[in-house]
């Protein structure tokens, strides 16, 4: 049976989807963008600040569901400009100092609210 995960410590969904869904010991976190959950606004700054906020949002959802970063097995990163790849990796790697998850990174034409990065995550217990 699937369980819908919600925490006020991460941004509200900006469409008809859940922050995350858990089923059979696997957590599927919807793509997170750099919204500050306290204000509902995109964080100020560039790719580093935006990536850090995305990872904070993912952390809040993981915690709410009883998971953690070592349990993350797959991430998908979306960037509006591959020139931001190195700086995004710099921040992203802070959250996975050992045994990082499998990952794909794509350049896309645009993301919601004009943000620079979106990351979706899959974790297991």
Q: Counting Cβ atoms within 10 Å, is residue 1 exposed (0-12), middle (13-18) or buried (19+)?
A: exposed
- Domains in the chain: how many in total? 1
Query: Each residue of 58-73: pLDDT tens digit?
Result: 999 999 999 999 999 9
Tens-level pLDDT at each residue, the chain (125 residues): 999 999 999 999 888 999 999 999 999 999 999 999 999 999 999 999 999 999 999 999 999 999 999 999 999 999 999 999 999 999 999 999 999 999 999 999 999 999 999 999 999 99
Please give the Cα distance from 31 to 104 (Å, whole number). 13
Range of the domain at 71: 3-124
Question: 13 phi and psi, to 5 degrees?
Answer: -65, 140
Query: Each residue of 17-33: pLDDT tens digit?
Result: 999 999 999 999 999 99
User: What CATH number is associated with residue 40?
Assistant: 3.30.1330.40
């Amino acid at each position: 049976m699937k369980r819908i995960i919600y925490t006020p410590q991460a941004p509200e969904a900006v469409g008809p989807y859940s922050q995350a869904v858990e089923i059979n010991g696997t957590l599927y976190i919807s793509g997170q963008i750099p919204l500050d959950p306290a204000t509902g606004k995109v964080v100020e700054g560039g790719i580093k600040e935006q990536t850090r906020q995305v990872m904070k949002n993912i952390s809040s959802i993981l915690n709410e569901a009883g998971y953690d970063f070592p349990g993350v097995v797959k991430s998908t990163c979306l960037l509006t400009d591959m020139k931001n790849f190195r700086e995004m990796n710099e921040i992203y790697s802070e959250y996975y100092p050992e045994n990082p998850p499998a990952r794909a990174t794509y350049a896309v034409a645009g993301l919601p609210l004009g943000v620079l990065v979106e990351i979706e995550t899959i974790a297991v217990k």
